[in-house]
Amino acid sequence: MSNRRRWLSALVGIAISAVALWIVAGTVDLRETGSILADADALPLVAIVAIVAVQVTVRAWRWSFLMPHGSDGRRLRIRRLLPPLLVGYLGNAVLPARLGEPMRAVLASRRERVGTTEALGSVLLERLIDVATLAVVAFSAALVVDAPGWISQVLGVAALGGIVGMAILLSVGIQPILAIADRLGLERRPALRSLVGRFAASVGGPGRRRAIGISAGVSVGAWLLDAVSFWLAAQAVGVELAYPAALLIAGFTVLGTAVPSAPGYVGTFELAAAAAAGALGVPPAAALAMAVVAHVMTLAPMALGGAASLPVIGTSLAAAAREAEAGTEGPKPTIASSSIR
């Protein structure tokens, strides 16, 4: 991404976050929210940190199924993928344009000496699976709690899109894009075509069905854990919330953060969570307090983990960001394994 496009993306995200914060501030008594936060119970907050630790480990395990295998032909170990994953979360928290996603792919490919193209494809595939499974889970929760019509309709459309998307990933993936590119003349540039072909092969298709199926199952488990964090956040601020309702709020919130925003999803997270909780009858100030607790207690531990992981990998955040922006290809074939299984 060029500097101009990067800055434009950052400005658009900041503008959207500012609007979201303005809407929240105009509809919620912030003093009451502050009072609720000041009286928050600390015990559920500790539990949220424990849940986040489990979640990150589960997500690293899932990523190991989607990443290229190492030179020994085996899946990469979770403990090797955890530091790049955490640095990626740190990047998403403090850098614009979701730079943490390509950052972790590049870091993992360099550290494990596997193809950067396939590593980038694994991250895209992971995000697609995440969105698809979350939409279905959130819609199911909406049906269980008999959510307001507008929430059920939004999540129903998202769930339908997720089901269609998963069907495409399991059948042809993004290979049709390669065929279209060939018709536009890509086949006359063999080096670039090879690069695009490797990327397309890593993002779905028959050869990736097992990895996609396992990852989808793990993703469902991860989202169920995420809902526990929201349920604990509600307990911390004195909101009585059933688990299915917490699952609905969590799903709606995370899907809401898919729109461009400032680093750390500031504003969009709070607006989506408060809107979903409010629609389920939670008072506005309490809904915002719950959203703030859930946001801070899930984002901060991952960001701190990313900061602690930088010296483990032997890099800095600025250097990792530069590598991700450069978008360079991974190690040479003689020293890298790019096998996708």
Report the sign of the C-alpha dihedral through residues 31, 33, 35, 38, in that order.
negative
- Residue 250 belongs to domain spanning: 43-321
In this structure, is residue 220 part of a structural domain?
A: yes
**3 state SS for 220-286:** HHHHHHHHHHHHHHHHHCCCCCCHHHHHHHHHHHHHHCCCCCCHHHCCHHHHHHHHHHHHCCCCHHH
Task: Name the DSSP letter for residue 337.
Answer: B
Write down the pLDDT at residue 1: 53
Write down the pLDDT at residue 280: 95
What integer is the mean pLDDT of 218-243?
97
Q: What is the pLDDT of residues 26-44, one digit of tens each?
A: 999 999 999 999 999 999 9
In this structure, is residue 275 part of a structural domain?
A: yes
In this structure, is residue 36 part of a structural domain?
A: no
Number of domains the chain contains:
1
The amino acid at residue 80 is: R
In this structure, is residue 91 part of a structural domain?
A: yes
Whether residue 296 has pLDDT greater than 90: yes
In this structure, is residue 94 part of a structural domain?
A: yes
In this structure, is residue 330 part of a structural domain?
A: no
Mean pLDDT of the chain: 91
In this structure, is residue 338 part of a structural domain?
A: no
Q: What is the pLDDT of residues 246-284, one digit of tens each?
A: 999 999 999 999 888 999 999 999 999 999 999 999 999
The fraction of the chain above a pLDDT of 90, given in percent, is: 77
CB neighbourhood size of 148 (10 A): 14
Of 279, 259, 278, residue with least CA distance to 269 = 259
Q: 114 by DSSP, 3-state: which?
A: strand
In this structure, is residue 250 part of a structural domain?
A: yes
- Directed axis angle between helix 209-236 and helix 42-66, to 10°? 170
